[in-house]
Amino acid sequence: MATVRLPDDPSFEQLRKQAKDLRDQARSGAPDALGLVGSHHPDGPRPPSLAGAQLVIARRHGFPSWAALKRHVQIIRHYRRTPDQVDAASSPADEFLLLACLRYGHDDDPARWRRAAALLAAHPGLTTTSVPAAAAAADTDALAGLLAVDSTLATAEGGPFAWEPLLYLAYARHDPSIRADAVVRAARMLLDHGADPNAGYLWHGLTSPFTALAGALGGGEGGQPGHPRADALARTLLAAGADPNDAQAMYNRQFGSSDDHLRLLIDHGLGHGGGPWRARLGDAIPSPADLIADQLWWAVTHDLADRVGLLAECADLRAPFRFPDDRPAHLRVWNGTTPARLAALCGSTRALGYLDAHGAAWSPADGVDAFVAAALAGAHATVERLHAHAGTARRRRPGLIVWAAARRAWRAVPLLAALGFDVNALSRGDVPLEQPWETALHQAAAAADVTGASLLIDLGADPNIRDARFGATPLGWAEHFSHTEVAHLLRPLTNR
């Protein structure tokens, strides 16, 4: 059993050094080293050989052997790509691809994609020299000609990012009016010549593959767009065998309100089986059941009642969450909590209503849970009745106003402030976890919510507090997102 999660983008040389250091420290009698050996080596807390120390390091990270750990790291090295760090192109075709493709960097924006379209218009022949470029442009005539000469090019890694051609097609964003029939023909042409419908890469070595399906569906923390013909391309990939249990695709799309992607994945077997990436990377890829639980947790906490209804086809809405030890802390803290209790404690009234109507009700005993649920719902009478629990609630969830602001639960904010919750508390607004990130006013600024920002200022919110991650004031957030109205409100109140 793993006691320490393997770091993201692991270095095998660093792991080898850890094993040597452990051997040497155990030989010198260091108690911590001997304790670690005793926890993972069959011979107990005795100074190990180098091979023995390697076994301990492997088992510490959840691998049965050093060979298994080495194989895992080699797989990551093989698929690791850093497309956001590629700046140079060796040909006009590569320059087009550099500009055309979504690569999850700071410069993913329509202006860059328009430059790609202009370059292609100025040099239309560049697709005749490059299978990746022909794929990205869905130039089926050029693609057919190139593959007729050498069919192995359909699966060859190339272009500026060392991707397979199918990935360039899936991540291209240069042409909003690209024809669906051309995109589908290009995809089928590549697939018919051996392209893998589960082709993908590991962004900076993270063990969540950015597959062709994830590229087609788009989305992400920055609101990145899907492919202009996302539905047609995704359906083509799924029909060809793309795994619907695509963790990165679902994560990227969870931030939006549309559920079209989820309906599509469910219809193609989401929650069942397990594809080639899980075969390669094992438990580093969440199981289908864990993916469903992750998505249900997100839908409940963010009050996406329609999404909860879709996931009900795959999940037991009455069962408590059980997240494995290697899942993130903001999930594991809710282990043992039912979806309905989670909805109540997050103020997710629509999700709670759905759960209640479908036999997954939650009836709290009077206590802190009932107090928090009532406060987030703005239920003054219930809060007054349960006022004795206010102190405990403040200690358990000191940043509750941040969460209320992030959810636009403005009825709850003055109520919480009157109960002694700090209007200037730092907490997280993306997930219900007490971690000092930003204030409620940052959340209002990010959402362009002038009414909410005015309410918070009237309650004593300080516009000069900087968030803990970016060192920015709420005004800085408003300006970053180009929210001019709320920026106009905050500018005269902010010390530059």
State how far the Cα of 477 lies from the Cα of 472, in Å rounded to an integer.
Answer: 7
Percent of the chain with pLDDT over 70: 100
- Strand order of the β-sheet with 210-211 is 80-81, 200-203, 210-211
Helical (H) or strand (E) element with 203:
strand 200-203
The DSSP secondary-structure symbol of 43 reads T
pTM of the model: 0.92
In 3D, which of 123, 119, 125 has the Cα closest to residue 172? Answer: 119
Answer yes or no: is pLDDT of 3 > 80.
Answer: no
Residue 2's pLDDT is what? 56
Q: Which pair of structure tokens corresponds to residue 85? A: 């760090």
Q: pLDDT by residue (tens digit) across 435-444?
A: 999 999 999 9
State how far the Cα of 95 lies from the Cα of 119, in Å rounded to an integer.
Answer: 8
What spatial distance separates the first Cα and last Cα of the chain, rounded to whole Å? Answer: 52
Q: pLDDT by residue (tens digit) across 302-355?
A: 999 999 999 999 999 999 999 988 788 888 899 999 999 999 999 999 999 999
| Residue extents of the structural domains in the chain | 12-80, 83-242, 393-493
State how far the Cα of 99 lies from the Cα of 109, in Å rounded to an integer.
Answer: 10
Strand 200-203 versus strand 210-211 pairing type? antiparallel
Residue 1's pLDDT is what? 55
State how far the Cα of 326 lies from the Cα of 461, in Å rounded to an integer.
Answer: 37
Answer yes or no: is pLDDT of 158 > 70.
Answer: yes
Helix/strand/coil for 201: strand
**Cβ 70 vs Cβ 19: under 8 Å:** no
Domain 83-242 belongs to what architecture?
Alpha Horseshoe (1.25)
CATH code at 393-493: 1.25.40.20
Quote the mean pLDDT of the chain.
95
Residue 5's pLDDT is what? 86
Q: pLDDT by residue (tens digit) across 69-82?
A: 999 999 999 999 99
Q: pLDDT by residue (tens digit) across 24-58?
A: 999 999 999 999 999 999 999 999 999 999 999 99
